[in-house]
């Protein structure tokens, strides 16, 4: 009896907690592990939401971000957009209930978890006790103003006030009060916004920092990227547990209808094939399948050849737009951007875009500037854990004229931006900061880097050649005097005669070199050529102009750089 007592006693202590309470205790899981990171996470969630809202509504985004330090390490965070606004009745749930949102379907968007902005609200009330204020205008001449908090025990919104005033226009504004620390530098909010501006050049962003200084990130592209469409699940991205639930919940009367209606890329023929392979009748009612039936079906799906998922669900930024973004924010002298065609990993479509910016305003010293993006959002933390970083490290940058020690970060005036878009970005962890290593993804990143770097190499070689040609000009004049003196001493010719002869010869030769130089000089305009998208044929042609050749003997015991004639 005493034994039973133990289990009884222990039983009493069991209880259930809400998801809000769980994340309140585990706020590090959502990016609030310290004051610095928490502040940037709040800004990020709100900006992501704003950009997503504008894009969904096909509105060119205009975002206002402001930070005020209202107490020691306490910040008011204000983000306002010109998006569609939010219907009054949805406002409390969207901002003050975890796991509520618009983002649970298979569609490329910045948020994937449906948890970001309400997590920021949760963090605000936990760290400062303050409520969050929401302003929303949907264009009906009214502005709805809510003061909200989350009831942690129930994960339900608590409305502290709800006011409506007259106002024109459209958009959403959020005011959070959070504990945080504002820093400058590599992992700062300023840097995050700058990086956002590069990959979202169709957005106008204004940022007012805690000192009141205003930064404008202008719009340089006047069209939104193509719209991302929702798609249905592709059978190759399916897990058996999901299949079971779909079979149970479907309204389809038989298996063929089930497959053709619930999945992407499954036509009647494919559906029949799956049924045949699994030994099930095509007319079976999905809800009646046993567990073993389901397992057979699942195995059959993996064996049947199914067309790759359609890719109109992807909304890449595009080479031209990325060029403009890089140009305005980093001002390199040369830019090369590759937007790869869509590809597929585990049944999910994705696409890689790589931009390289070289020279210009970029730091000549130190490691290159790597910026990683997923669905247009810069990834700020966990760089070393990210497969994008790994792909950059493993690339042979030396081959492209960039210094690199083995397996370490290249150095030089280079910015590398790498963007993955996908309906389902495979992050390694909850922080949404590092991309997991899928072979298909790594391969695409490598191809894009190679393609972009080849173009850059041509530019760098050309630049080196121009420098050389200019140096050459001087060299002959520098060395001829001593040669003439020596010849006058060795031979019986008068010095003046030798000098005149030599100068005539040099002038003649120089003319030939001038021509070379002019040709090489064309390279000076390459920057513009690339930026305006001229074909690379004309460039690889001019690369073949070799100006002088040097051959080295093997095994030299003396230096011996002359050309060898047998």
Taking the C-alpha atoms of residue 334 and residue 80, their distance in angstroms, rounded to an integer, is 34
From another protein, a copy of itself, none, which one binds at residue 479 (CB under 5 to 8 Å depending on kind)? Answer: another protein
From another protein, a copy of itself, none, which one binds at residue 6 (CB under 5 to 8 Å depending on kind)? Answer: a copy of itself
Phi/psi of residue 372, nearest 5 degrees: -105, 140
- CB nearer to a copy of itself: give 5 or 471: 5
Which region, judged by CB under 8 A, interacts with a copy of itself, from 119-127, 259-267, 268-276, 452-460?
A: 119-127
From a copy of itself, another protein, none, which one binds at residue 544 (CB under 5 to 8 Å depending on kind)? Answer: none
Retrieve residue 319's tokens. 């080479």
Sequence-distant contacts of 261-266: CB under 8 A, at least 24 apart:
262/232, 262/233, 263/232, 263/233, 263/234, 263/235, 264/231, 264/232, 264/233, 264/234, 264/309, 264/310, 265/234, 265/235, 265/306, 265/307, 265/308, 265/309, 265/310, 266/235, 266/306
Beta partners for residue 339, in sequence order: 353
Shortest distance in whole angstroms from residue 521 CB to another protein? 17
In this structure, the strands spanning 334-339 and 156-166 are unpaired
- CB nearer to another protein: give 34 or 491: 491
Taking the C-alpha atoms of residue 422 and residue 417, their distance in angstroms, rounded to an integer, is 17
Which region, judged by CB under 8 A, interacts with a copy of itself, from 38-46, 111-119, 272-280, 502-510?
A: 111-119
Among 8, 482, 537, 544, binds another protein (CB under 8 A): 482
Taking the C-alpha atoms of residue 401 and residue 459, their distance in angstroms, rounded to an integer, is 10
Site string for a copy of itself, 293-322 (x = CB under 8 A): -xx--x------------------------
Task: Provide the 3-class DSSP secondary structure of residue 162.
Answer: strand
Shortest distance in whole angstroms from residue 14 CB to a copy of itself? 5
Retrieve residue 498's tokens. 């030798």
Shortest distance in whole angstroms from residue 471 CB to another protein? 8
Which region, judged by CB under 8 A, interacts with another protein, from 64-72, 346-354, 386-394, 486-494?
A: 486-494
The CA-atom distances, in angstroms, between 18 and each of 23, 93, 130, 151, 392 are: 9, 15, 21, 10, 42
- CB nearer to a copy of itself: give 153 or 164: 153
Q: Which of 268, 253, 219, 261 is nearest to 82 (CA)?
A: 219
- CB nearer to a copy of itself: give 100 or 530: 100
**Torsion angle (degrees, nearest 10) of CA 248, 254, 256, 257:** -80
Shortest distance in whole angstroms from residue 504 CB to another protein? 7
Among 70, 90, 223, 486, binds a copy of itself (CB under 8 A): 90
Site string for a copy of itself, 129-168 (x = CB under 8 A): xx-------xxx-----------xx---------------
In this structure, the strands spanning 334-339 and 348-358 are antiparallel
- CB nearer to a copy of itself: give 239 or 551: 239
Site residues for another protein, 422-481, by CB under 8 A, read 468, 471-472, 475-476, 478-481
How far, rounded to the nearest angstrom, does the alpha carbon of residue 19 sit from its chain's CA centroid? 30
Judged by CB under 8 A, does residue 509 bind another protein?
Answer: yes
- CB nearer to a copy of itself: give 409 or 438: 438
Which region, judged by CB under 8 A, interacts with a copy of itself, from 78-86, 312-320, 357-365, 495-503?
A: 78-86
Q: Are 81 and 135 in contact (CB under 8 A)?
A: no
Which residues are CB-contacts of 15 (< 8 A; sequence separation ≥ 6)?
A: none
Beta partners for residue 415, in sequence order: 357, 369
Residues in contact with a copy of itself, counted by CB under 8 A, come to a total of: 72
Among 101, 180, 349, 378, binds a copy of itself (CB under 8 A): 101
The residues of the shown chain that bind another protein, judged by CB under 8 A, are 468, 471-472, 475-476, 478-483, 485-487, 489-493, 498, 501-502, 504-505, 508-509, 547-548, 550, 553-566
């Amino acid at each position: 009896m005493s034994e039973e007592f133990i289990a009884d006693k222990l039983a009493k202590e069991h209880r259930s907690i809400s998801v809000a309470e769980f994340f309140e205790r585990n706020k590090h899981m959502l990016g609030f592990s310290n004051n610095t990171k928490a502040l940037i996470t709040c800004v990020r969630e709100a900006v992501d939401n704003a950009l997503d809202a504008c894009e969904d509504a096909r509105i060119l985004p205009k975002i206002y971000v402001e930070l005020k330090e209202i107490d020691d390490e306490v910040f008011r965070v204000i983000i306002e957009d010109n998006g569609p606004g939010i219907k009054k009745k949805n406002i409390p749930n969207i901002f003050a209930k975890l796991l509520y949102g618009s983002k649970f379907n298979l569609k490329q968007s910045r948020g994937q978890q449906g948890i970001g902005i309400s997590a920021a609200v949760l963090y605000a009330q936990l760290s400062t006790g303050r409520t969050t204020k929401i302003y929303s205008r949907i264009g009906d001449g009214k502005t709805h103003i809510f003061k909200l908090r989350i009831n942690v025990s129930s994960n339900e919104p608590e409305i502290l006030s709800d006011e409506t005033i007259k106002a024109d226009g459209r958009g959403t504004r959020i005011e959070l009060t959070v504990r945080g620390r504002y820093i400058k530098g590599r992992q700062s909010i300023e840097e995050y916004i700058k990086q956002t501006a590069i990959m979202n050049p169709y957005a106008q962003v204004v940022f007012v920092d805690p000192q009141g200084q205003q930064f404008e990130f202008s719009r340089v592209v006047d069209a939104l990227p193509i719209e991302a469409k929702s798609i249905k699940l592709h059978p190759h991205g399916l897990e058996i547990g999901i299949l079971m639930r779909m079979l149970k919940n479907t309204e389809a009367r038989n298996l063929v209808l089930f497959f053709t209606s619930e999945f992407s890329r499954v036509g009647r023929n494919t559906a029949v094939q799956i049924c045949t392979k699994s030994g099930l009748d095509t007319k079976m009612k999905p809800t009646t399948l046993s567990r073993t039936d389901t397992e057979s079906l699942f195995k059959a799906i993996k064996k049947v050849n199914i067309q790759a998922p359609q890719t109109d669900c992807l909304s890449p930024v595009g080479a031209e737009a990325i060029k403009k973004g890089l140009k305005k924010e980093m001002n390199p002298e040369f830019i090369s951007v590759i937007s790869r065609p869509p590809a597929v990993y585990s049944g999910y479509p994705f696409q890689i875009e790589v931009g390289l910016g070289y020279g210009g305003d970029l730091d000549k010293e130190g490691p290159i500037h790597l910026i990683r993006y997923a669905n247009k959002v810069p990834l700020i933390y966990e760089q070393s854990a990210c497969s994008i970083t790994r792909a950059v490290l493993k690339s042979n940058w030396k081959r492209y004229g960039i210094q690199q020690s083995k397996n370490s970060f290249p150095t030089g005036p280079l910015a590398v931006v790498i963007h993955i878009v996908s309906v389902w970005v495979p992050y390694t962890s909850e922080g949404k900061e590092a991309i997991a290593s899928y072979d298909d993804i790594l391969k695409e990143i490598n191809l894009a880097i190679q393609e972009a770097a080849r173009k850059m190499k041509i530019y760098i070689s050309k630049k080196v050649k121009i420098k050389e040609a200019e140096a050459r000009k001087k060299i002959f004049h520098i060395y001829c005097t001593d040669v003439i003196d020596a010849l006058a001493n060795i031979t019986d010719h008068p010095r003046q005669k030798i000098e005149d002869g030599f100068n005539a010869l040099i002038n003649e030769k120089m003319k030939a070199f001038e021509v070379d130089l002019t040709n090489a000089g064309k390279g000076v305009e390459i920057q513009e050529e690339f930026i305006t998208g001229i074909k690379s044929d004309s460039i690889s042609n001019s690369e073949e102009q070799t100006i002088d050749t040097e051959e080295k003997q093997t095994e030299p015991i003396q230096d011996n750089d002359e050309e060898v004639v047998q």
